[in-house]
Amino acid sequence: MTLFHCGNKSEKFIMMKSIFSDQLSDFSNIHLDDVEVISIARPNFNILEDSSFKFLQTRQSLKLQWMQDIKDDNCIESTLTESVPPTLKSLLVNQVDESSKMLSDLLGCNKVSVRLASLRSPMCPLFHVDNIACRLLITLCGKGTEWIPNDSVDWKILSDRKNNSLPVKDESAIMEFKVGHWSLLKGGAWSNNFNGVVHRSPDTSDARLLLSLDPVFE
């Protein structure tokens, strides 16, 4: 996690919008200046969710991170450990393969940094902005990442690291990425005209399985 202070960027305010749909083609809107989040519901995700839930019930820990070359179809399967059941492994291979190629087509990256982790406590409990271009979050099972729409963020509180208050004008504005969605959010390094999406891990001790992909530009 990278905490990112907006500095003068907070003075440049654009009314941002979010897109929720079931059409992969809507990801192309991420290039629009006034779009901060795109979350696409994926079909037949309940099979992967059920398999992920069964894995979490075994209480095995899973923390993997690797660099995925878009052209290397064998990289995903060889990285997954033997502790991952065959059914879940096959589903994860397809999920990573499809999502990484989507990012490559959308953004022109040749590699993607992939992280797969089982979590039983908040990994990043504080609201923050990551100093990256963008990130694709896929909650496989459990509660999803929480985020605040740009126009609801209290940037003064967020930039004050001694202030433990929630950096939001109205707590009811806090949103959550749902299971079964590919959720693409812009980071602080996307452009000079946007501060980045403010987000955090959900405040829960319930187990969840999270997949995240960061495009890598070389």
Domain layout of the chain by residue ranges: 7-147+176-216
Q: Exposed, middle or buried by CB within 10 Å (0-12, 13-18, 19+), for 11?
A: exposed
User: For the whole model, what pTM was predicted?
Assistant: 0.90
pLDDT attached to residue 122: 61
pLDDT attached to residue 8: 38
Token couple for 66: 């690797």
Cβ atoms of residues 125 and 201 within 8 Å? yes
Cβ atoms of residues 136 and 186 within 8 Å? no
Q: What is the pLDDT along the chain (218 residues), one digit of tens a residue?
A: 333 333 334 444 567 899 999 999 999 999 999 999 999 999 999 999 999 999 999 998 899 999 999 988 788 888 887 778 999 999 999 999 999 999 999 999 999 999 999 998 667 778 999 999 999 999 999 999 999 999 999 999 998 878 889 999 999 999 999 999 999 999 999 976 788 999 998 888 889 999 999 999 87
Distances (CA, A) of 120 to 4, 51, 62, 80, 177: 25, 17, 11, 20, 17
Distance from C-alpha of 180 to C-alpha of 84, rounded to nearest angstrom: 20
7-147+176-216: CATH number: 2.60.120.330
